[in-house]
Amino acid sequence: MTCSFIDDCPWHPFASKNDFELAEHILHTHLNREGRDSLFKVLKTQAGDHQSAYTINNESDFKEAWSKAENLLTKFTKETLTLDFRGEALKYDVHFRPLWEWTLNLLSDEALSPLFVWDAVKIFQLDEKTNEQMQIFNEPWTGDLLWEVQSSLPPGGKPLAYILYADKTRLSSFGTAKGYPVMARIANLPDAIRNGKGWGGGTVVGWLPISVTEYSHTGYAFKLPHSGKVIIIYPFICILSADYEEHCMMTLIRGTKSASPCPVCLVPNGELQDLLDEHPLWTTKEMQDLYNLVEEEGEEVLDESSLRPVENVFWTVSWDRLHAYHLGVFKHLLLQIIRLMNYSIANFPRWRNLKHFDNVTTFDFGDGVKFEHMSKQLLFTVHSVLRKEVHHDAYLLLKVIRSYVELDMYASMDVHIEKSIEEGRHLMNVFDAKLKVNDKQFKNPTSWKIPKVHTQQHFFNDIIAKGATKNYNTKVNESMHGPLKKAYQIQTNFKDVAEQILMMDHQYNIIMQIHQQIDRQKKHQEEENDDLSEDKNHIRQNQRIGTLDSKAMLHSLQATPKDPRTVGELENAFHSDPAYGRFRIWLGRFMTAFIKRVDEDAVVQGGFIKYMPDDTIRIYQTLTVTYQSLVNLKESADLLRCSPSFYNHPHYDGVIINTDKGAYIGQLIQLFEFHPFDLTVTDGGEHWKFQQDKDLGFYCLRARPRVFSQIVSIYSIIHGVLLVKDNSSDLSNGQDYFVVDTIDTDMFFRMKRLTGVLKYRNVASLKKD
């Protein structure tokens, strides 16, 4: 196997790999001059009389090494702009990384080059129910915008689409020092790279990027390094990703108090709350005509249109889920109900990748991610406090919140089809109706006539034009503020900080690029040295599968063994728990039936497997279940807990179990391995009463007594389920639970599929049964 772009010395221009790793360590640990000097002394002492493993032995060597490396990629440039303001000449220093030169750095990379997608596509999926072809929208090149742009280019022309993001950030803890970075991404690269943290992902390009409009008209001939093919590239800005305030600045409208405060359409200020009426869109031609009119008649004509007297080129603002929903609509909702949550929120069960809150009094109201995670928990923590009969106003608000959370599920989908967009638009109408009812009947209503409520009207249009919201959500860009703040606080002298911060950002980019080359070389060497034959590979696969069918490959145990170690010890440890009654008998019956399904001849006709008290058993506390997502069809995994003490609380997750009679929901009681099979005890979930609350959309479960618990194979578990206890349960009838279907988009649509034939009832009626 050969590869033309494998570098024998990928750490170049550093003299050795050791030198590169030393420079990388110093950068990542934010060592200042004093810290670097101390490190060099330690390395020199360790080397003693032997030759040092490094050629960087002091500050002078360190600076010389970096001076060579800094030329690998496009550096930042500083220019001074002079602007006239009321007769006074104001000068501003602007730092920028030339956008086109940065683009050429990426295009010239032989590893990244083949990953660029140069042609817009339209992908369709067959709807089995209607037998209709449904268009799919996910990456930017699946949207209508790139299709229209490429259709307008000369034959053979290829669109190069930029995603630009801008937002102010506080550099100091007290907010006295601020930065205004502009970040860029290339929409032609796949999501995993474009939105990743490595080389090819987002890059700071300064305050304002240098213009690339020349090539957008004439095209730029570029020879692809991996294939030698010459293509004609036409760059354009596809997406402007920002918060509402930045969108106002980018489009130069006058903001929230103007006559038409939306940067996308001409909605009047007094109609921002109405999500059903559509309004004319801002267009470049209309703005050009208006601009020309201003040249003739003066600035007064702009007041009615809410514009400023500056010529605009792009109207490519994109709806931002982070600021519009999590820091916008939901923040507005949360503030009305937050005082009721303190007690209940701490008892919400933990789940992988879901933030856990001990209280809300110390909640960070500037963290959009926490708002997103809070939105998934709020309804389940306050529903028992806010009863419909007693708290009429607040209950109306809960119905609005449920509608919002469902809309957010559609907004967060990685992949859309025309059907899901149609469903989402219907939900938008439902949200609008509930919001209006809440506004009319709430005693102290909050004004919903704000731009962030209105702008959600446009996000389905954005999905059709530019793909899924992940392509323009500011969430991925906001995470890049952290390193800039850290660089300011640790590695600058607090004077002329822009140049120092941007130099460190430049060094980070160089480190990422070199690291990619080193990883590529390592992978290539491993492939070259891999002398396994097809037979050995076949043996390796069989060792993974064992004696079970291919479903076993989809699940894996993460073992944390604990006592008891035999069947008898397990029975004695839980002798008072009805779930373990006649445990050995049920285990024998299960294993007999299970083995017969694998091999009919493995058990003598009429035979029955029996287990003795001293038979070995092994207990586990975690289970990883792997499944294919219903939304993006990619492999996903749930990490499930079955532990008497997880963060000092009992934690037993729910599961979806697949059987010959269909799927049902159960709750883990015990995870154990009985060689050669991995088993679990669940609480007989098929006997649970299963209804959906029609007001708040809860999926309500009631467990039958634990005596009905069953033994199942872990290979029949197809998904995890986050279950929340209903604190208002009448325990004499059994513990009630709610399924948190909004934990992610896969679970949201999976529950819809599982409950297609269920009747809708209120939680109250379920409790009366």
Are the C-beta atoms of residues 631 and 745 closer than 8 Å to each other? yes
Please count the other Cβ atoms lying within 10 Å of the Cβ belonging to residue 297. Answer: 9
> How many CA atoms are closer than 13 Å to the CA of 66, on its beta-carbon side?
20
Q: How confident is the model at residue 239 (pLDDT cuts 50, 70, 90)?
A: confident
Q: Is the pLDDT of residue 311 over 50?
A: no
Are the C-beta atoms of residues 320 and 242 closer than 8 Å to each other? yes
Interhelix angle 459-466/144-152, nearest 10 degrees: 50
pTM, to two decimals:
0.80
Rounded to the nearest 10 degrees, how much is the dihedral formed by the CA atoms of 212, 214, 219, 221? -70
Q: Is the pLDDT of residue 177 over 90?
A: no
Average pLDDT, the chain: 80
Are the C-beta atoms of residues 62 and 23 closer than 8 Å to each other? yes
Angle at 50 between CA 49 and CA 51, to 5 degrees: 125
Q: What is the mean pLDDT of residues 59-85?
A: 90
Bond from prior residue into 578 cis (ω within 30 degrees of 0) = no
Q: How would you write 85-145 as a 3-class SS string?
A: ECCEEEEEEEEECCHHHHHHHHHCCCCCHHHCCCCCCCEEEEECCCCEEEEEECCHHHCHH
Angle at 132 between CA 131 and CA 134, to 5 degrees: 135
Query: According to the model, what pLDDT value does residue 359 have?
Result: 73
pLDDT in tens, 357-392: 877 766 666 677 888 988 899 888 888 777 777 777
Query: According to the model, what pLDDT value does residue 422 have?
Result: 95
Range from 596-610, 727-741, 745-759 that averages highest in pLDDT: 727-741
Range from 407-411, 454-458, 501-505 that averages highest in pLDDT: 407-411
Give one DSSP letter per residue of 24-50, joined into a string: HHHHHTT--HHHHHHHHHHHHHHHTTS
Q: Is the pLDDT of residue 768 over 50?
A: no
Q: Is the pLDDT of residue 308 over 70?
A: no
Q: What is the mean pLDDT of residues 226-242?
A: 86
Burial class of residue 755 in the structure, from the number of CB atoms within 10 Å of its CB (0-12 exposed, 13-18 middle, 19+ buried)? middle
Are the C-beta atoms of residues 703 and 690 closer than 8 Å to each other? no
Q: Is the pLDDT of residue 535 over 70?
A: no
Q: Is the pLDDT of residue 563 over 90?
A: no
724/700 Cα distance (integer angstroms): 10
Query: According to the model, what pLDDT value does residue 127 have?
Result: 82
Q: Is the pLDDT of residue 290 over 80?
A: no
Using alpha carbons, select from 69, 58, 60, 75 the residue that is nearest to residue 16.
69
Burial class of residue 532 in the structure, from the number of CB atoms within 10 Å of its CB (0-12 exposed, 13-18 middle, 19+ buried)? exposed
pLDDT in tens, 539-556: 333 333 233 332 323 334
Interhelix angle 368-382/392-411, nearest 10 degrees: 130
Q: What is the mean pLDDT of residues 736-764?
A: 74
pLDDT in tens, 49-65: 777 789 999 999 999 99
pLDDT in tens, 113-158: 999 999 999 999 888 888 889 999 999 999 999 999 999 999 999 9
409/749 Cα distance (integer angstroms): 9
DSSP 327: I
Q: How confident is the model at residue 408 (pLDDT cuts 50, 70, 90)?
A: very high
699/237 Cα distance (integer angstroms): 44
Which range is least confidently modeled, 54-63, 516-525, 757-766?
757-766
259/269 Cα distance (integer angstroms): 5
Token pair in block for residue 759: 């009747």
pLDDT in tens, 687-705: 444 555 778 888 888 877 8
367/671 Cα distance (integer angstroms): 37
Interhelix angle 745-754/392-411, nearest 10 degrees: 110
559/623 Cα distance (integer angstroms): 8
Query: According to the model, what pLDDT value does residue 73 have?
Result: 93
Give one DSSP letter per residue of 173-214, joined into a string: TTS-SEE--EEEEETTS-HHHHTSSSTTS-EEEESSPPP-HH
Q: How confident is the model at residue 431 (pLDDT cuts 50, 70, 90)?
A: very high
> Exposure string (b/e) for 17-49, b if CB count within 10 Å is 16 or more?
eebbebbbebbeeebeeeebeebbeeeeeeeee
Q: Tokens 């001849």, residue?
A: 601
Alpha carbon of residue 520 to chain centroid: 26
7/694 Cα distance (integer angstroms): 62
DSSP 446: P
Give one DSSP letter per residue of 617-674, joined into a string: -EEESEEEEEEE-TTT--EEEEEEEEEEEETTEEEE-EEEEEETTEEEEEEEEEEEEE
Q: What is the mean pLDDT of residues 241-266?
A: 82
Q: Return the amino acid letter for 353.
A: N
